[in-house]
Chains A and B, each alone.
Chain A
Amino acid sequence: MHEAIKVSNVSKVFSRGYLRKSHKLVLSGIDLKITEGDRLVIVGESGMGKTTLARIMADLEWPTEGQVLWFGQDIGRMSKKEKRLLRGSVQYVHQDPYSSLHPAKTIFNIVADPLRYAHGLKSKDLRKRVKELMEMVGLTPAEYFFNKYPHHLSGGGRQRLAIARALTTEPRVIIADEPISMIDMSLRASIIKLFKDLNDQYNIAVVLVLHDIGAAKYFTYEKGEVAILYGGKIVEKGEGTKVLDNPLHPYTRVLINSSPVADPELARNRQVEQLRSYAVPIRTPDSKGCPFAHACNYYIEKCLERDPQLVPVEQNHEIACHVFCNRDGVI
């Protein structure tokens, strides 16, 4: 299997203030890849850098350091022309379907315009393709929606439309940033299901950015990988079932342990681990040590001094933690 997107040693620093002298390290030393036709979930809370990472993967943001490879080619060294040829293969779905769709365009045109520009489709062919795409995302009967506007759709419907629009260029990878955070509760599962179907039926690689661990599990329990972000670093990654059923990093464990469960008895009897701090870590390029050390209940001296690197604990399962990285340390 070929790698669709590979991110190697990517760091991102945002500078601001007078003379751009205040630096904030949003991502540091990220290594991540997704093979063609696979699934990947990036999990993290707000402020952990997950959206920045997704945008860097989609070439909407540029890394301060490191490389992003699309289908084996470094996009930082590509010419404009080369990039334009590949651009359609990697598509991005925005978080908020209430602001990512043009309110004054008909639903037909929202899907049709990219087809007109990118593929030069006209009249009958265009209509046929729009219909196909809308059926792919479950907006049926397609003709019923053609002359309507985005405001006629519910949040779930809008997100489906945004996905249909992303499919116009026949992408091999879709990157979706928090696709369900603005969607009604009863429709969330159906959107995740749609991404799974697109992955299964059309072999499109799907990268989802989520904060909902349950949704991440639903998306990856059959196949796919999970990467957990904390403070701009990947603290744990690996096969979805391995990471989510057997979490090893203390942060992942707290995250899973704190996720709501839909069972009143279990919810009342479980002991939720309390962290030492709930503040979002703010890191600068000079910060040292593990970003989670300030909150972790298991931290040791070393955690404040040295940044832990990702090390494998079993096949396809890596964590970055000084305490739990070797089997003996597991409490």
Chain B
Amino acid sequence: MNSLIKVENLRAVYLVREGTIKAADGISFDVQENSVTAIVGESASGKSTIIEAMTRTLPPNGRLLEGKVLYKGKDLLALKKEEFRRIKWKEIALVPQAAQQSLNPTMKIIDHFKDTIEAHRINWNHDQLIQKASEKLEMVRLNPDAVLYSYPMQLSGGMKQRVLIALALLLDPEVLILDEPTSALDVLTQAYIVQLLKELKKKLNITLIFVTHDIAIAAELADKVAVIYAGNIVEYNSVFRIFKNPLHPYTKGLLGSIMAINADMSKIKPIPGAPPSLLTPPSGCRFHPRCEHAMDICKKEKPPLITVEDGAQVACHLYSQGGRKDA
């Protein structure tokens, strides 16, 4: 399989009054065609920043310092605005976070669809638009006749999320990027959206990249999982290996601390400490203050993301040369 998107050494910061938040610090990963990639991390670990930097939607105080996002050989970050606009939505579509607030409360759903095609200069007449929009809404199991002429406030949280997915699918993109598709939804609605995304993936053969804080969602949906901790990828591996044989101490800790319904409750062990502030991240490996295997080198040197057995990638001194592999 070819890699469709290649992210290389992405670094982005946010400027705030107190200093700079180093939210993405040298992020590199590949996304294969027709695969599902999950970016898993806690809040404020920089996972949304990666997506925002990739799609050039960083907020006004965000700054991209360096890095490349190669899509079919083109660097998305170096493209001219007009060239990027042609790729945006037609090839790469984004479902933003906070679905509840992403729709304009004063516009009917149909007008959101109309806005989208106007922004991308597509000449569909009204009937064509209705037909296309209905098709996409049916794909996310909404009744177009009821939904198209509703205002966002008339829809439930799960329905709004599905409208946004339909909107993202309108121009038949090849890549769909979703930022926290299930956060702020109830358990049942969450399961429903995950089920829906699974079906869409099968039906449309698209590449999905999604960000989540819930590693259990990744277990259900993803082929590959990138675990983010404090602005760094600490582990990038196939979903089965991440869950069966996690390598990085943070991944191990995270898996040991999640209270999934099928977990052995007596073995749940919280990770000590708290995630660091990205204003003043710890030196060396950013996980070392919470790590039970921390060595001297961890405080001084940042471990590079290296490839170990079976193509698994991990950023930990335990696995680099001179480190203990058995720990």
Contact = CB atoms under 8 A, between A and B. Distances in A.
A186 B257 contact: yes
Interface in A253-279: 254-256, 258-268, 272, 274-275, 278-279
Contacts of B190: 258, 260
A221 B265 contact: yes
Contact of A184 (B43, B187, B220, B265): B43
A46 interface: yes
A211 interface: yes
Q: How large is the interface on B (under 10, 10 to 19, 20 to 34, 35 or more residues)?
A: 35 or more
A189 B214 contact: no
Interface residues of A, number: 44
A37 interface: no
B98 interface: no
A187 B254 CA distance: 9
Interface string B242-268: 010000000001110111111101101
A262 to B, nearest CB: 4
A154 B262 CA distance: 28
Contact of B263 (A262, A272, A275): A262
Given A185-B42, A185-B213, A213-B261, A279 B156 contact: yes
B216 A260 contact: yes
Contacts of B275: 154, 184, 186
Contact of B265 (A185, A218, A255, A272): A218
Given A262-B243, A262-B263, A255 B217 contact: no
B34 to A, nearest CB: 17
A262 B187 contact: no
Nearest to A259: B261
Contacts of A214: 258-261, 263
A45 interface: yes
B184 to A, nearest CB: 9
Contacts of B261: 213-214, 217, 244, 256, 259-261
Contacts of A256: 261
Contacts of B220: 260-261, 264, 267-268
Contact of B215 (A156, A254, A262, A266): A262
Contacts of A192: 259
B240 A265 contact: yes
A213 B269 CA distance: 17
B188 A258 contact: yes
B259 A263 contact: no
Interface of B: 42-43, 156, 158, 186-192, 195, 213-217, 219-220, 239-240, 243, 253-255, 257-263, 265-266, 268-272, 274-275
15 contacts: A45-B187, A156-B274, A185-B257, A186-B270, A188-B259, A189-B268, A190-B271, A211-B186, A211-B187, A213-B187, A214-B259, A258-B187, A258-B188, A258-B191, A262-B215
Interface of A: 45-46, 154-157, 184-190, 192-193, 211-215, 217-218, 221, 244, 254-256, 258-268, 272, 274-275, 278-280
